[in-house]
Each structure stands twice: as structure tokens, then as C-alpha cells.
């Protein structure tokens, strides 16, 4: 067994002894590179409930690993900061330890989808995988828009010859992440510039290719050139230089602020062009009814919306002027449109709720008791058809038919089952799990056409609400 493999095994054996830990993951390049070429080993730990005592206990247990027994002639250094700081030298083996509890991990997935999506690729974990606790599922173009503020703050810090990082501190008995600054040196400037360029291109490739993949350097350069040739021609030489400086741990003074600023302006232009040129479809589930109580309410069930209910702010402020409006013929969708004072719209049978057939109006337990074949189908993970009704595949086929006819940006007023089909297909969720997708009433959910497919493109706060039923209960 290689030293690297022994080290991974030892780290996990130490962490598994702590019953407060529900997930431990080692991410990064430790499996594919020699320890001498690795600047640090990233370890993500999720605990049941975080406090200073738990943090110190985990740090101490890892610090006590005897590297001599693994034939590694280094000393362990624990870096427990959140950020880009590097502490490696020829005598240190740096363990970059990032500890979260369940709530903090959910928050991190919401605020840092790029980082968490990379972490989900790791197969080195014990306990729950990070994606089981809460998954990014897919990157969206909207993630790049949301990340710009954070990137600009980094550039502002660099211009002030500093970089920011966070660390846990106890304040009045409460645990807090405190922002601190570190004086910028050439090493961190090179690391920063390299990661901004690499991660920006890599993350956009993940969206464009619809894959969570990490390319080796030569493959990365080839795919970058194939997909974004103009950007490649402008930045490939300086990027290659940064790569070699980083790999060989060499230093050189570079104008990082100008380089990163220019790159991000050019990169943002590509993202903006994607968004502006792509066709958009907004799906909106009708406003609430008195019968949204868990029973199956299908296309044949005509019910009214609740008259005196608040319209979600996102819907109230939505500008419909540049969209063609389509609606299910169901009363609850038409009433939602009328409440918004929209005068012109098209009615489409393809936007009707799933036809539950004889199960319409029944609760799930009643359906299972009355129709044994449905219970059998669920056990087999089959996309079952409701008695004298539809299944999810049939619903998605009619949505596809409608999508193939639209020529401009459109809004669909529709139902939970229809939105679930669009979300499930976009995120490549197994069809038998689509019922777990949570669709809020009256909330605009955007899809954008990329490579002839409509992909979910919403903000992460909304995404978290939609996907909350997929998170592990800890």
C-alpha cells in the first residue's frame, strides 16, 4: 500500500473513533500525486453539533498521528482556517481541516456551490457522503452571477496587499466564524490567480458539458481551447506559467490584480452572452388552494385558490412584459393569472397537472391500499401509471411537445407535477424520486436552454427549498 493510501486510512481510522462525527471526506489530489508535491490535504468533517470542544478534540486527535509509523518524515500542521492560506514547507504535512455541523454544511452548499460540487466528486469518505447530507446536484449559470460579489471582494483584498480568511472563535460562549486578514505574499498571489482562472473555466465546462469532472492539465488545456478559443488564446500562456510556478513552488512577482481583473471581465462576458442568447422558460405553480393537504389533486379536479392570500414577493415583482404567457386550463391556474392582472395568455392542455385517474382526491395511503400494483411498482423503482391515469414519463412527454413549439421566452402557469418533471429531468434525478421535489406555490422557477436542453437556473436559496427532501436526516 502506498504512503498516501496508508495516510488516508489512518486519518479515517482516527476520525471514526469520534461518535460526534457523521461524515469525513478527504478531497483533492492526494491519490494521484506524491506527498512531496501536495501543498495540503483537505479534510471536510461534519459533526452532529459543533462547538469549540469538538473542534479541539478533532484537531488534537489528528495532530497525534505518528507519521514515522507511515514512513513519512514530516510533522503534522493543522490548518483550521476557511480560505486560501497555504502553510506547507519541506518539514510540514498540512492537514487543512474544515469542520461543519449539519446546518453549516447546508449553508455552505447554498453559498459556495462550486467548492461543494468539487468535494462531492471524492470517493474518499466515511459515514455519510457530502452529497447525501446536502447536494449541489448540478451547477447553474446563475451560480456564476451570484459568485461575482465574492470574487470582487477577493480582488479588492489583493489590491490592498492582503487576503481574507475565516476561522472559528468563541465569542461570549457562542461559536462564530471571524473574518481575518493575512498579508499577501508572492506565493499566495500565484495560488490566487491560478485558482481564479482554473476554477472559472473548469466550472463553466461542468455546466456546458453537464459533467462533474476534473481534467488533468493537458486535457484541461485542450478542452478549454475547444470550447472557449478566444479566451484560451488570450490567457493560456500566463495560465501555463502560473501552473508551473505553483507546481514547482517557485516565486515570481506578477501584476495579479490586473491579470485577474481582465480575465474576469472577459469571462463574465462569456457567461452573460450564454444567458442573454439562451431561451428562457419560467414555471410557476398556481397559488395555494384549501385542498393542498397532501392528497392527489390532478388534472380532473377543479378547485379554487384561496382568495385572501399573500402573493410571494418574487411573483408580485416579476416583469411579464417580455414573455409569452401560457397556462394550464385548470381553474386554480387561471385564477392565479387573473390575480396578477395578466390580460393576455394562451391556454395549453400540455400544462395540466398529472392525471391521477381513479386516485384523484385520495391520500397516498389510500391509493396504496386500493391498488396493490402501485406498491409493487414502488418497491421495484418503476415509474408506475396511476389507475386510468398518467405516469411521470407521459407528463414529461407532453411538456417536451409544448417546449418544442415555443419561439420566445415564456412563462408557464402550471402545477406541482409538471414542475417536478422539469426539475427532475434537468437534474437527472431518478424518475422514481421526483415525488420528493418540493415546489413552492407562486414562485417563478427559471429554466434556460443550453445545448438543446432546458436546464434549471434559479438562485440557491430557492434551490435549497426545492431539494430539501433529498437531504439526509442527521
pLDDT band at 84 (very low <50, low <70, confident <90, very high): confident
CA distance linking residue 241 with residue 220, whole number of Å: 15
Q: What is the pLDDT of residues 171-210, one digit of tens each?
A: 887 888 898 888 888 888 898 899 999 999 999 999 999 9
* Cβ contact 388:421 at 8 Å: no
**Tens digit of each residue's pLDDT (9 = 90 or more) over 371-420:** 889 888 888 889 889 998 999 999 999 999 999 999 999 999 999 999 99
Residue 165 — pLDDT band, cuts 50, 70, 90?
confident
Contact 417, 286 (CB under 8 A): no
The single-letter DSSP state of residue 352 is S
Q: What is the mean pLDDT of residues 449-467?
A: 95
pLDDT of 87:
79
Asked if CATH classification 3.90.79.10 holds for the domain at 280-470, the reply, yes or no, is no
Q: Which of 378, 377, 389 is nearest to 296 (CA)?
A: 389
- Give residue 441's pLDDT: 96
CA distances to 216, 376, 378 from 382, in Å: 38, 9, 6
Report the pLDDT averaged over residues 1-9: 84
| E-strand stretches of 80-137 | 92-101, 125-127
CATH of domain 3-133: 3.30.460
pLDDT at 156 over 90: no
pLDDT in tens, 262-298: 999 999 999 999 999 999 999 999 999 987 777 787 7
Determine the average pLDDT of the residues in 40-66.
95
The Cα 91–Cα 224 span in angstroms is: 36
* Residue 284 Rama label (left phi>0; alpha psi -120 to 50; beta): beta
Q: How far apart are CA 455 and CA 207, in angstroms?
A: 9
Domain locations along the chain: 3-133, 141-277, 280-470
Helix (H) or strand (E) holding 187: helix 186-209
Cβ neighbours around 129 below 10 Å, total: 16
266-271-272-276 Cα dihedral, nearest 10 degrees: 140
How many helices (H) and strands (E) are present in the chain, helices listed first? 17, 13
What radius of gyration do the chain's Cα atoms show? Answer: 26
| Segment 153-169 mean pLDDT | 84
Average pLDDT, the chain: 91
CA 376, 381, 387, 392: dihedral to nearest 10 degrees? 180
Q: What confidence score (pLDDT) does residue 158 get?
A: 80
Mean pLDDT of all residues in 50-71: 94
Identify the band that residue 147 occupies on the pLDDT scale cut at 50, 70 and 90.
Answer: confident
Amino acid at each position: 500500500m502506498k504512503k498516501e493510501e496508508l495516510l488516508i486510512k489512518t486519518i479515517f481510522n482516527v476520525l471514526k473513533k469520534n461518535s460526534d462525527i457523521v461524515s469525513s471526506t478527504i478531497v483533492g489530489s492526494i491519490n494521484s500525486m506524491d506527498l512531496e508535491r501536495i501543498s495540503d490535504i483537505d479534510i471536510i468533517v461534519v459533526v452532529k453539533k459543533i462547538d469549540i470542544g469538538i473542534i479541539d478534540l478533532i484537531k488534537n486527535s489528528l495532530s497525534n498521528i505518528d507519521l514515522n509509523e507511515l514512513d513519512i518524515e514530516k510533522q503534522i500542521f493543522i490548518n483550521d482556517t476557511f480560505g486560501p492560506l497555504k502553510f506547507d514547507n519541506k518539514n510540514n504535512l498540512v492537514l487543512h481541516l474544515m469542520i461543519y455541523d449539519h446546518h453549516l454544511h447546508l449553508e455552505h452548499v447554498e453559498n459556495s456551490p462550486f467548492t461543494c460540487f468539487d468535494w462531492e466528486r471524492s470517493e474518499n469518505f466515511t459515514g455519510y457522503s457530502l452529497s447525501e447530507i446536502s447536494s449541489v446536484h448540478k451547477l447553474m449559470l446563475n451560480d456564476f452571477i451570484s459568485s461575482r460579489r465574492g470574487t470582487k471582494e477577493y480582488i479588492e483584498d489583493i489590491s490592498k496587499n492582503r487576503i481574507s480568511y475565516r476561522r472559528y472563535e468563541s465569542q461570549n460562549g457562542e461559536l462564530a466564524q471571524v473574518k481575518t486578514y493575512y498579508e499577501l505574499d508572492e506565493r499566495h498571489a500565484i495560488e490566487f490567480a491560478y485558482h481564479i482562472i482554473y476554477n472559472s473555466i473548469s466550472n463553466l465546462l461542468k455546466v456546458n458539458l453537464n459533467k462533474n469532472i476534473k481534467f488533468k492539465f493537458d486535457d484541461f488545456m485542450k478542452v478549454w481551447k475547444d470550447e472557449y478559443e478566444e479566451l484560451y488564446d488570450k490567457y493560456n500562456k500566463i495560465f501555463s506559467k502560473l501552473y508551473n510556478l505553483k507546481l514547482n513552488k517557485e516565486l515570481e512577482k506578477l501584476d495579479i490584480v490586473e491579470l485577474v481583473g481582465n480575465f474576469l471581465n472577459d469571462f463574465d462576458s462569456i457567461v452573460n452572452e450564454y444567458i442573454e442568447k439562451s431561451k428562457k422558460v419560467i414555471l410557476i405553480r398556481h397559488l395555494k388552494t384549501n385542498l393542498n393537504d397532501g392528497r392527489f389533486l390532478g388534472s380532473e379536479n377543479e378547485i379554487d385558490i384561496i382568495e385572501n392570500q399573500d402573493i410571494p414577493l418574487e411573483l408580485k415583482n416579476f416583469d411579464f412584459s417580455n414573455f409569452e404567457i401560457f397556462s394550464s386550463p385548470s381553474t386554480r391556474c387561471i385564477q392565479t393569472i387573473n390575480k396578477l392582472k395578466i390580460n393576455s395568455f394562451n391556454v395549453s392542455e400540455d400544462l395540466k397537472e398529472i392525471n391521477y385517474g381513479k386516485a384523484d382526491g385520495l391520500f397516498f395511503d389510500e391509493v396504496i391500499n386500493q391498488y396493490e400494483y402501485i406498491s409493487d411498482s414502488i418497491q421495484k423503482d418503476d415509474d408506475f401509471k396511476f389507475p386510468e391515469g398518467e405516469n411521470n414519463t407521459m407528463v414529461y412527454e407532453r411538456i417536451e411537445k409544448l417546449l418544442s413549439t415555443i419561439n420566445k421566452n415564456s412563462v408557464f402557469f402550471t402545477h406541482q407535477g409538471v414542475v417536478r418533471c422539469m426539475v427532475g429531468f434537468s437534474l437527472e434525478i431518478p424518475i422514481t424520486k421526483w415525488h420528493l421535489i418540493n415546489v413552492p406555490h407562486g414562485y417563478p422557477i427559471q429554466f434556460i436552454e443550453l445545448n438543446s436542453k432546458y436546464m434549471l437556473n434559479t438562485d440557491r436559496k430557492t434551490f435549497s427549498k426545492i431539494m430539501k427532501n433529498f437531504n439526509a436526516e442527521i
